[in-house]
Structure 1
């Protein structure tokens, strides 16, 4: 099927000595994405690192510098979040953006939990639930289920039982980042949209494409919308049509350094990584359409490599929109 929606994902790196410049770079890339006709721009979370730690704040700023492009998180690890407070933040940004927010979430303990536990949950660290129940709580609050048994006027103040502001369409734009068959199925059963990325668990196979395809099909089998349930695929894709010779060499070296990890499952969790697709748009389009998992979707959020510079990202996004997207049947948004 032709590609209907083209998006991109950035980590939003910055220099510790000048964090504003990195955040401005991220915002300007989102603005560029809108001008190029991209349908969506997504940002990652990076806690206690030199990447975006507060996507809701960055996307609130982006919402005021753009008018059409949808804005998402891919993903927000809920182990770091209070579902009630996050629901308030998401609804606020969605209202500011005019209904363009696409929050993606995942579950599991925070990375390096044994080292951050005392700072993050000093009193409740052993009692916190980092499973799917945390997502369910967030979904209920976004949907408008009661958050407290307090309502009406008390003195000069008025209280609401549900999270305010309430953004009615936000619940339909909640995404789940699934890396396992169980999580993909759970997301479908709970009427979420599915984000599938360049990292999956090797459960029933060691063929990345086959694993990703099984996740997409399990998700849609469990979802009330069936084959129409939304899935966005995120792979690392680097078109080189407009790149300089120096950029092409650097991009190729980056991909070569990462390729060995794609040969077999990695670590105790048996994580499988997709191969980075680097080269002319014509070749990348052929490689993508050869993937059974890609043929099952009509939305993508291609990931920008972590360690490149601003000018590199400008070239990559420009080639994605002007060369690769059209080869995949995509038309830019107006």
Structure 2
């Protein structure tokens, strides 16, 4: 599910938030305007990517803090924060603060593993401890514990005029149930389920047991739910690159088709030592995309999505794509705006 008899329950979108390195403000402003538009169109959630030492959002928590003051209803997520760059205790403080500012709308997505190009950045990122850092799931477990209210220190009470807490402050009670893991493997799906997280599955997976993208993604969804205390009710969000063309100009349609065609070869076979497999971009009318989604094995078992916006388009393109997703594709999938 969803099938025509079971409507899509939650519709979201994901943006990378590109900007010009010589003039970064307009790109960040564009991202905030896109989130505002998403709320106006009735989307249930808006998600931002995380990019370090690149020309995309390096501090999604800060960007979403700004978005909390420009929206009132839409859920705000990160997809995903790579925890190898973070101190879990400090990140827990930031996430709780933004969740309080949002009125309980934050949906933090995280992942683990060594940072990209770690050998070249480790001395700047973790000087003195680079070879001792733990990039395993334990880093996520620590973050979950702090977010959910576990003690961070053995000291609490009053010292002079100052009052100290033994857990992260502010504490946002509902945030622990809105933590997501962005996983691309059976192992990650299993771990996220066993630790009561929600699960983000995107357009990239590890080709472990198959080379059929939809079947791999389906196996992750099922493994996650088999291990989660809520079983089939556990939240899974599917992310694919979706580009509806219903209201696009002829020039936009041509550009979108060219973009997808250039990226298509990478979807043919698994790539690299990790055997990463990419999903094809879905380009076409809302009706055509809906037909392809209903035939997608993993989509048939989820009821919420966070469709990814292409990386390198213009603001006006994103407005057209988001508008068509909300007004054309969403209804084709049985979704109704909030």
TM-score, normalized by length of structure 2? 0.98
Alpha-carbon shift at residue 292 of structure 1 (Å): 1.1
Q: What residue number does 2:184 align with? A: 179
Alignment of 1:1-334 (within 5 A): 1=2, 2-333=7-338
Task: Give the distance between the partners of 2:220 and 2:285, measured in 1 at CA.
Answer: 29
Task: Give the distance between the partners of 1:267 and 1:254, measured in 2 at CA.
Answer: 22
Task: Give SS of 2:336's match.
Answer: coil
Task: Give the distance between the partners of 2:293 and 2:32, measured in 1 at CA.
Answer: 28
Task: Give the distance between the partners of 1:176 and 1:120, measured in 2 at CA.
Answer: 23
Alpha-carbon shift at residue 175 of structure 1 (Å): 0.2
Alpha-carbon shift at residue 252 of structure 1 (Å): 0.2
Extract unaligned runs of 5+ from structure 1. none
Deviations 1:177-216 (A, max 9, x none): 0000011011000000000000000000000000000000
Aligned length: 333
Extract unaligned runs of 5+ from structure 2. none
Alpha-carbon shift at residue 273 of structure 1 (Å): 0.3
TM-score, normalized by length of structure 1? 0.99
Task: Give SS of 2:174's match.
Answer: helix
Alpha-carbon shift at residue 18 of structure 1 (Å): 1.0
Deviations 1:96-116 (A, max 9, x none): 000000000000000110111
Task: Give SS of 1:153's match.
Answer: strand
Deviations 1:150-201 (A, max 9, x none): 1111011100000000000000000000000011011000000000000000
Task: Give SS of 1:168's match.
Answer: coil
Task: Give the distance between the partners of 1:295 and 1:151, measured in 2 at CA.
Answer: 49
Alpha-carbon shift at residue 149 of structure 1 (Å): 1.1
Task: Give the distance between the partners of 1:118 and 1:309, measured in 2 at CA.
Answer: 36
Alpha-carbon shift at residue 17 of structure 1 (Å): 1.4
Deviations 1:101-158 (A, max 9, x none): 0000000000110111010001100000001000000000000000011111101110
